[in-house]
Every structure is written in structure tokens, then in C-alpha cells.
Amino acid sequence: MAEPILKCPSCGASVHLGDIVCPECGVNLKSGESYEARVQKARGKEKHHEAIAGGLYATVVLAFCLLIISGYFFQRRFEGFVRTRPDIFRPFLERFQQIQDWQAARQYEKAREEAKLLVQDIEKAAERIEPPEYYTQENSNNAWKHGYRRREVKYDKRGTKRALFTLKHKAQHILDTIPTQEDPS
């Protein structure tokens, strides 16, 4: 028995009963959707995925750039604290250098001991920071009467403490990474 033959609703070509797509014009016989419309739908889905991937890529790049910029400004601010208060930071930075020299010489026990002391000393220094006395109307009446204000070295107490805690965490990290035994070589 021969298969029944039908006509395509779009172009009128002969199609077999089991066919899904017209062999002449490409129309889907069940949905009536043309070949071009199906191709456009498929391309639209590809573009949607490409747009999501592009947006995700741009977000990652932006986050990385912001991370680098914030790190740069954090470093600049830290260097500013070191410049304004060398009396607080210089001894610690010199001790960091000494620890690195001992590590390079493979004197790990000395480096570990100094790093432990450094962490403790940084904590003590952070506790000792006193807020500066700024001149106000009450404590500098003479300066205000004469139309000038005496300048005083001012520093950011919270920022200095944060910088000290950053140093403390760096010292703790160094302490954690120093090998526990001397190298026999």
C-alpha cells in the first residue's frame, strides 16, 4: 500500500503523511513555522548566551580592575601612615627586614622567635596609640585671640591602628610560613 500524499500548506508541494518538514520550502508541517523563523530563533538563543557570557566576562574584568585599584589606594594610604608616623612604623619595618634576612640565611629558629616578638610588639604599639590633641577654642584661646591657629602634627588614630593591624597580620603570615626546623644543608 502506498503512503498517502498530502499537500504543503505553504507551497503546495507533495509531502508524505509522516513528514515533519516540507522538502521544498522547509516549513514545519506540524507548527506551520518556516525554516527562516526557526533559524532566527536558534540564532537568537546563541546571541542570548553570547550576551550573558560577554556580560559575565565584563563583570569579572571590572571586579579585577576595582580590586587592583583598591589595592593601589590601600598601599598609598599605608605608605602615607608610614611617612607621617615614622616613629611608630620604622622599627617594625626594620625588624621585618631582619626576619627576611634570617630566612634567606636559613636561620629559621631566629626568624620564628623574632616574628613572634614582632606580632606581640605590634599589638602593644596599637594599644598605646593615643588620639592627638587638636586645638580648639577651649584649649587654645590665645591662638584664636591673635587670629592664628598653631599647627600641630595630626594623624589618623584609627587609620594608624589599622595599618599596625595590617603589619601584625603580615607578621603572623610570615610566622606561619617559616619552616619549623633549621635546614641541615
Q: Which residue has the higher pLDDT, 139 or 41?
A: 41
Left if phi > 0, otherwise alpha if psi is -120 to 50, otherwise beta: which for 12? left
Name, in order, each residue with C-beta under 8 angstroms of 16's C-beta and a sequence gap of 6 or more. 3, 4, 5, 6
Burial group, residue 155, by CB count within 10 angstroms (0-12, 13-18, 19+): middle
Of the two residues 147 and 170, the one the predictor is more confident about is 170
- The HSE-up count of residue 166 (CA atoms within 13 Å, CB side) is 16
Q: What is the pLDDT of residues 102-132, one digit of tens each?
A: 999 999 999 999 999 999 999 998 888 765 5
- The grid coordinates listed for 61 are 574584568
| Per-residue exposure over 18-43, b if at least 16 CB sit within 10 Å of its own CB, e if not | eeebbeeebbebeeeeeeeeeeeeee
- Return the pLDDT at 46: 61
Query: Residue 31's pLDDT band (boundaries 50, 70, 90)?
Result: confident
Q: How confident is the model at residue 20 (pLDDT cuts 50, 70, 90)?
A: confident
How wide is the angle at C-alpha 52 spanned by C-alphas 49 and 54, nearest 5°? 105
How far is 118 from 92, CA to CA, in rounded Å? 7
pLDDT tens-digit series, residues 64-95: 999 999 999 988 988 888 888 788 889 999 99
pLDDT at 53 > cutoff 90: no
Q: Report the range of poorest mean pLDDT among 27-31, 107-111, 164-168.
A: 27-31
